Structure 1
Amino acid sequence: MKRPPIVCVVGTSDAGKTTFLEKLVRELKSRKLRVGTVKHHGHEFDIDKPGKDTWRHARAGADAVVISSPTKFALVRNV
């Protein structure tokens, strides 16, 4: 299987990385390519709320938790 190219964009705050990536993603999608992005955040974060079901599943020991809705899903795994 052919491996897809991986592009990494790095720069200081307010350098225009996000604006560039928005344009790059739109261009690649216009060429009918599949595109995925990863946003690194330098600080800890949690997308589910303490006490809610997905939070409880993770705290119970689940290796991965998927949060889904009719329009989106997110996979949460500890690293």
Structure 2
Amino acid sequence: MTIAKTKSVDSAESQAAGSGLQTAVTVFGMTLFTMVVGAALYGTPEQSERAFRLLPWLRPHPETTSDEHDSRSGRR
């Protein structure tokens, strides 16, 4: 009976490792959030008012399903 010989192969890169684009998008988002909060807290009153108006836009919104979209527009 013959015995098959196998050799060790380096494993593929793990899925947890982020790409450069993912890192860039994350850093951009964090920088944008930090700038808005900094302007809201430490800026002039005009800048502070504008920054507070931007804060709700930075909050994630749930995706609507087609059923929810139809009920909002009055169609079924």
Q: What TM-score results when the alignment is normalised by the length of structure 1?
A: 0.30
Higher strand fraction (1 or 2): 1
Who wins on radius of gyration, i.e. which is larger? 2
Higher helix fraction (1 or 2): 2
Bigger RCO of structures 1 and 2 (CA < 8 A, at least 6 apart): 2
